[in-house]
Amino acid sequence: MGMVGTVGLVLHPQRDSKEAIDIILGWAAGRDVTVLGLPEEVGRIDCSAVAVDGQTLVERADLVVSLGGDGTMLRTMRLIAGRGTPVLGVNLGRLGFLAEIDVAELSETLSAIDHNRHTVEPRMAVRTRLGNQELMAFNDIALVRFPGDGLAAVTVTAAGNPFVNYAADAVIVATSTGSTAYSFSAGGPVVSPRVEAVLVVPAAAHSAFNRALVLPADEEVRLELLPSSGQLAVELDGRVVGRLGPGDQITVTACPGAAKVVRLGTTFYERARRKLRVDGSVEIA
């Protein structure tokens, strides 16, 4: 008997996942494996996956398969956060950092996982509290200015020590996983996901000090909006979840190993080179 008795599915809201689902269901049928899906997702596709709520899927699945891109993978990781259940990312479209395989490799990959011929890579998250809501992100939590409003004027305090005041279009607190996302576009460093670190990166900084900070995972980061700050959107993995004004503050802490991602031989450096189109510098004559 294999390791996988129940597979949970999380689908991209728009991309066509029918081919991938049919492969999963065909693989499962020959092995007496149950396939679960979220009602609002599998309900729009003619398939035999069992519709269950998110909590039931999380509790019952031995493996969760994310069908989509990096956004779907991040949503899946947030859904499964805190459990040891591995997540397999399947690309439906553009190459991503988190998704591991394409649809054509799906059946073979499921068999490899079932026979424990894979590795599992832990991924750190960051979390904060906004009002009475506890929020978690696997890429980043960002404070972003509204168009036409004032800059993000923010004091950054690390481990209880006030360190820098940024004036910028945004201040991003990112994980190593998120170092190739918003943080990267703002000039932050590329960091291997094996490094448990928190990055604090200003986007389009208007202050004299415009460098990123790299902090250890066991130091909390407090972001406080200065009196000169405009109203700021709070973004979690690219989704607006609230807003803050001058005098407000949030504290961000790290959650090491919050999710487990299936790997089958590709490395972070290979994926980063392809996605970021890293070709090296021009040779000096």
In 3D space, the residue among 250, 229, 214 whose CA is nearest the CA of residue 169 turns out to be 229
User: What is the C-alpha separation between 257 and 52, in angstroms, rounded?
Assistant: 26
Domains of the chain: 6-118+264-276 (3.40.50.10330), 125-257 (2.60.200.30)
Active site residue ranges: 70
Structure tokens at 125: 């998250």
Q: Are 167 and 151 in contact (CB under 8 A)?
A: yes
pLDDT at 187: 95
In 3D space, the residue among 151, 152, 149, 150 whose CA is nearest the CA of residue 141 turns out to be 152
Name the DSSP letter for residue 45: S
In terms of DSSP bridges, do strands 161-168 and 170-174 run parallel, antiparallel, or are they unpaired?
unpaired
In terms of DSSP bridges, do strands 221-225 and 152-158 run parallel, antiparallel, or are they unpaired?
antiparallel
User: What is the C-alpha separation between 259 and 262, in angstroms, rounded?
Assistant: 10
pLDDT at 1: 61
In 3D space, the residue among 209, 199, 212 whose CA is nearest the CA of residue 252 turns out to be 199
pLDDT at 285: 43
Average pLDDT, 10 consecutive residues per value, the chain (285 residues): 90 89 94 93 83 95 95 96 94 80 93 94 96 95 94 97 97 97 95 96 92 97 97 97 97 97 87 78 48
Q: Are 172 and 203 in contact (CB under 8 A)?
A: yes
Q: Are 66 and 89 in contact (CB under 8 A)?
A: yes
User: What is the C-alpha separation between 160 and 146, in angstroms, rounded?
Assistant: 28
Cα angle 101, 97, 59; round to 5: 70
Instruction: Give me the torsion for CA of 160, 163, 167, 171, rounded to 10°.
Output: -50
User: What is the C-alpha separation between 82 and 92, in angstroms, rounded?
Assistant: 26
Q: Are 97 and 240 in contact (CB under 8 A)?
A: no
pLDDT at 280: 61
